[in-house]
Each structure stands twice: as C-alpha cells, then as structure tokens.
Amino acid sequence: MKLVVIGHSIGCYFSLQVLKRAPELPVIRSFLLFPTIERMSESPKGKLATPLLCWFRYAFYVPGYLLLKPWPEKIKSLVIRMLLRRMNLQSEFSFLNLLEPFCLINAAYLGSQEMMEVVKRDNETIKEHLSKLTFYYGTIDAWCPKEYYEDMKKDFPEGDIRLCEKKIPHDFILYFYQEMADMVADWLKDDLSKI
C-alpha cells in the first residue's frame, strides 16, 4: 500500500504532523495546498482573526445561546439557505450545525488554538520529507502571503515549492474545487509515471 496525503490550509499543518508522528506510514507524496504551517496569527487574516478568536470569543457565548438555541430548525434552515444563496453556493449537505451555539463555540476555540499553535514552521520535518512534499502557495492568500512562499523557497531551494499563477484564492473549495482537483490529479499522474 502507498499513501498520498493532501492537505489544504491548516490541513497542511496536520499533514506535516502525520509525517512527523507516523514515519512508518508508507506516504509516497504529500501535497500541501495554500499551506498555513507558520506565523498564522501574523498573516493579514490572522491579525484580524486572532483577537476575535482568542479574546473576544467569550463575549459571543451567552448571546449565542440566548439568540440561536431557541430558533426553530425551519428558521435556521432558511437562514443557512439564504447565506449560501447570497454566497452563490448551493450544497446538498446540511449546514444547520453552523447555527448551533455549541458548534460555534467549538469552532472559535479550535481557531484560537490554531492561532496560538501554528507559529514556527517545522523545518526539521520538512527537511526530512522534502523529497515527497509539494507546496502550492497562492499569490492572493491572506492566510499565507507570498512572503511565506519566498521564505520557503529561500530556505528550501531544492524543494518542490510552487506559486499559483492562476489567482486561485485560499478558499478555492468554494468556487475552484474542480480546477484544483484536476491540477493535483495531474501532479499525481506525473509522479506515478516516474515510479
């Protein structure tokens, strides 16, 4: 069995943790798409999110329970459908949990932990597994700006570190999922043809 690990955003941090903590796994490739693996709270989006997630999130707990908990499921469903339509998205999945106070509180807590935990890039793990890593950075990414790409290229000049030339945003999963899937599939086919 051979494994390919693909991570997006914070999933890239998890992908590196898998390589670090489970070296016995037969991972042959890892694609790190728009990798938030360092200085998360210092990024443009992180500078906005960190105070909200780390300090002000407690202010939302009581109103969240008082305002959202009593809403009937039909109203929650209507609000979610309106939000998705406004974002020009349609989904077959249920997003009702987004309006559950417990879910919102856990998401805020997870976000605060990410801001505090994802600080320093794990150069040791990257160096150890560099031959099987592909980093794909965005040119318009406020979670891992182009400066992070340039630093990575400088620190690992022999690595497969790519910069998106197509102006695909960090949240590609909303509108550019097929384009990204095709691109990663092509990279994987190229790799498999060399084996």
Place of tokens 């990410």: 114
Active-site annotation holder among 15, 41, 43, 170: 170
How buried is 58 (Cβ within 10 angstroms: 0-12 exposed, 13-18 middle, 19+ buried)?
Answer: exposed
Residue 170 known to be catalytic: yes
* Catalytic residue of the set 8, 41, 43, 141: 141
Q: Which of 9, 41, 43, 112 is catalytic?
A: 9
Cα dist from 22 to 14, 16, 154, 169, whole Å: 12, 10, 28, 31
d(C-alpha 121, C-alpha 135), whole Å: 13
Q: Where are the beta strands (DSSP E) in 85-150?
A: 133-137
Closest CA to 12 of 157, 139, 155, 161: 161
> Is 141 tagged catalytic?
yes
Q: Which residue numbers are catalytic? A: 9, 141, 170
